[in-house]
């Protein structure tokens, strides 16, 4: 009979000198000090969610939980580093054994130890996006897919499709039907590529980022001994931004938590805005059903916004039916300034109002870096970028490149540049490189043929480009598309006369570029909207040379391209999509384009999908709760949609849902006098 021997470890010294009662409010303390078990912490915007997680880790360490038994799952490496750094500042215990990081990084650590159990070696490579595209391109070539008549989706688009399948659990048919209907005829070939891609990754001992989750779950499900090892290790699991978990991440949490491990999930259902990339809010809404006996803690004290902004935010989100009931309360005194509702005549007037008000606020002592302009889609920042540039107000963009520096804007502009300047080799090559089957060598040959024509060295414009360009030797794969390009050039300068910029852009989009957009970009609809906005901007120009000159000037600051880099000034306004602004805050927020069809998005309104509309409303809520002191809600009453004509816009239904007594309506007029019919 075996002898039993008990190992007595010395009790560790208390990990911190934190006075939890004094440093936390009652709601935070209740969550932080809760006994082991299953718990959901609903932490409203600006309520100290990160602080709660940090103090929970410190509490566990103070109560004799070893760091090696704690797992902290986050959605960004930055969040993980920040939390661990702040924990180390507060506790004396060595925290190096604590596992903290993104789902992907934790999956990587587990797979590095057990990859051989699922057919890989522990030295597997992790494919970044460029590596993934290269591997997919090789697989596409090996599949011998005939793409001569119609474009096949490029590797970047396929990578996104495959990622959606993995992260949502949907079939390829479902993903194509709901998000990429124009690729439905390629379903069989896409599935062949997907199968070939999986085999290629295995033979090259490589994993992409989705594999780090999918294969971790596969390992835990198929190897009970490995699962048991990590269940014993991670006795306390903490999850940040729980509302953003997808089906794979949720399954990973369920497996590691098992039946007995302590689990604390922290999140806010009202800020669930990422369903388009696989996040499933049902995980947070059904937490108590999936974990019977679990507790729910609500942290509703907001330290960010004044009461006037919070009252409006609470009213806005209360319309949603799929939600966990809560009301944020401000810890701050009221300022006596209600959120402003500002209806402007058109997009350029809206931009002028925003810029002028910014300068006034700066004169009142609010620095520019404490101001932000938020919008639903990146193209909605066009007029704002133009106005700020003209007024010399420095700005930085978190939602992407400056409008005129984006690749698709430069692509369509290349057509206009070439017909205007027939010696423009860069624009000619950029234009023809968009065609399938034409690489740098092919572009050079076509350029050489162009130089042999009589029009290459003369100012005279051909009456019909197609009369002689159709005779150029384009590659067979590009023949059909080259023909269409030639006919499109005819439309840009009918009978040798340049058309108006907006008409030229429309011809390029519909004649050549729309198909290229679908094939090349996973955010096709957003990029098409950008070009439609450019067409609208072009309506104010009759002369194409003047239009192109403005594009060049607006595409750079002080003559130097800025891309998405921060302006050289330390003090600069932030322009951001609402998705990119989540987690950030400013003293003053301008929320623009609040018109139906713009926000909420028109495609969502057409779909008549209540769940999608509720997510749009949550996005509206996120935008409102970014503001600390002042909030301006604006929309243009008229949207000049160029070739489709002007559109009279009604205010967003989200504004209609807000009680009138919570908003102050501003009536903006021009300096020459007030006019009800012609604001500002």
Phi, psi (degrees; rounded to nearest 5) at 462: -65, 145
**Of 240, 311, 411, 530, catalytic:** 240
CA 293 to chain centre: 36
3 state SS of 589: strand
Tokens found for residue 240: 């940040």
Residue 41 in contact with residue 284, Cβ under 8 Å?
A: no
Taking the chain, what is the end-to-end CA distance rounded to the nearest angstrom? Answer: 93
**Of 28, 38, 49, 616, catalytic:** 49
Query: Could you give the dihedral angle defined by the CA atoms of residues 669, 674, 676 and 680, in that order, rounded to the nearest 10 degrees?
Result: -20
542 is known as an active-site residue: no
Question: DSSP code of 331?
Answer: S
Measuring CA to CA, which residue among 500, 490, 487 is closest to residue 545?
500
**Of 210, 241, 269, 346, catalytic:** 241
50 is known as an active-site residue: yes
Strand (E) positions, 83-151? 99-102, 125-126
241 is known as an active-site residue: yes
Q: CA-to-CA distance for 98 and 67, rounded, in angstroms?
A: 5
CA 586 to chain centre: 19
3 state SS of 406: coil
CA 39 to chain centre: 29
Question: DSSP code of 230?
Answer: H
**Of 338, 376, 617, 626, catalytic:** 626
CA distances from 193 to 135, 492, 634 (A): 11, 38, 46
**Of 50, 396, 398, 484, catalytic:** 50
665 is known as an active-site residue: no
**Of 216, 271, 349, 562, catalytic:** 271
606 is known as an active-site residue: no
271 is known as an active-site residue: yes
Strand (E) positions, 519-585? 573-577
- Going by their DSSP bridges, the two strands 638-640 and 646-648 should be labelled as antiparallel
673: left (phi over 0), alpha (psi -120 to 50) or beta: left
Which amino acids are annotated catalytic? Answer: 49-50, 240-241, 271, 626
């Amino acid at each position: 009979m075996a002898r039993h021997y008990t190992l007595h470890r010395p009790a560790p010294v208390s990990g911190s000198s934190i006075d939890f009662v004094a440093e936390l409010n009652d709601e935070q303390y209740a969550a932080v000090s809760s006994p082991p078990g299953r718990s959901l912490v609903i932490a409203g915007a600006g309520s100290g969610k990160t602080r709660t997680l940090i103090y929970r880790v410190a509490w566990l360490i103070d109560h004799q939980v070893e760091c090696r038994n704690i797992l902290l799952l986050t959605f960004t490496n930055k969040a993980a580093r920040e939390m661990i750094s702040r924990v180390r500042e507060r506790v004396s215990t060595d925290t190096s054994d604590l596992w903290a990081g993104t789902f992907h990084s934790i999956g990587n650590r587990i797979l590095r130890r057990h990859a051989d159990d699922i057919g890989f070696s522990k030295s597997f490579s992790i494919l970044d996006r460029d590596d993934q595209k290269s591997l997919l391109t090789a697989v596409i070539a090996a599949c011998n897919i005939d793409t001569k008549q119609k474009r096949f989706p490029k590797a970047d688009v396929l990578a996104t499709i495959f990622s959606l399948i993995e992260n949502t659990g949907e079939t390829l048919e479902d993903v194509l039907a709901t998000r990429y209907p124009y690729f439905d005829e390629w379903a069989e070939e896409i599935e062949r590529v997907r199968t070939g891609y999986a085999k290629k990754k295995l033979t090259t001992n490589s994993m992409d980022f989705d594999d780090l989750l999918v294969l971790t779950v596969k390992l835990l499900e198929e190897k009970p001994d490995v699962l048991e090892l990590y269940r014993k290790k991670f006795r306390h699991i903490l999850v940040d931004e729980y509302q953003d978990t997808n089906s794979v991440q949720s399954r990973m949490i369920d497996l590691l938590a098992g039946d007995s491990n302590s689990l604390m999930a922290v999140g806010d259902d009202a800020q669930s805005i990422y369903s388009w990339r696989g996040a499933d809010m049902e995980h947070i809404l059904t937490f108590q059903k999936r974990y019977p006996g679990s507790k729910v803690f609500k942290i509703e004290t907001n330290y960010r916004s004044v009461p006037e902004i919070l009252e409006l935010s609470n009213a806005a989100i209360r319309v949603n039916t799929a939600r966990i009931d809560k009301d944020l309360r401000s810890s701050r005194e009221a300022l006596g300034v209600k959120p402003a509702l500002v209806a402007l005549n058109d997009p350029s007037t809206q931009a002028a109002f925003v810029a002028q008000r910014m300068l006034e606020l700066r004169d009142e002592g609010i620095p520019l870096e404490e101001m932000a302009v938020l919008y639903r889609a990146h193209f909605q920042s066009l007029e704002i970028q133009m106005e700020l540039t003209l007024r010399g107000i420095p700005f930085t963009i978190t939602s992407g490149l400056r409008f005129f520096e984006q690749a698709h804007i430069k692509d369509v502009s290349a057509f206009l540049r070439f017909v205007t300047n027939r010696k423009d080799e860069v624009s000619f090559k950029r234009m023809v490189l968009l065609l399938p089957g034409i690489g740098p060598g092919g572009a050079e040959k076509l350029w050489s043929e162009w130089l042999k024509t009589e029009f290459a060295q003369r100012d005279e414009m051909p009456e019909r480009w197609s009369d002689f360009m159709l005779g150029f030797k384009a590659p067979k794969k590009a023949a059909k598309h080259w023909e269409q390009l030639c006919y499109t050039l005819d439309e840009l300068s009918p009978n040798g006369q340049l058309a108006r910029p907006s008409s030229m852009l429309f011809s390029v989009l519909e004649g050549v570029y729309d198909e290229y957009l679908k094939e090349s970009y996973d955010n096709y609809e957003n990029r098409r909207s950008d070009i439609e906005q450019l067409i609208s901007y072009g309506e104010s120009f009759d002369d194409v040379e003047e239009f192109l000159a403005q594009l060049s000037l607006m595409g750079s600051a002080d003559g130097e391209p800025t891309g998405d880099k921060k302006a050289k000034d330390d003090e600069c306004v932030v322009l951001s999509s609402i998705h990119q602004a989540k987690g950030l805050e400013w003293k003053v927020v301008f929320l623009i384009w609040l018109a139906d069809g713009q926000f909420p998005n028109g495609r969502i309104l057409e779909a008549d999908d209540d769940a999608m509309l509720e997510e749009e409303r949550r996005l509206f809520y996120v935008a409102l709760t970014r503001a600390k002191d002042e909030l301006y809600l604006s929309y243009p009453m008229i949207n000049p949609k160029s070739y489709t004509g002007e559109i009279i816009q009604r205010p967003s239904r989200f504004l209609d849902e807000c009680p009138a007594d919570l908003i102050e309506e501003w009536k903006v007029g021009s300096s020459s006098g007030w006019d009800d019919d012609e604001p500002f």
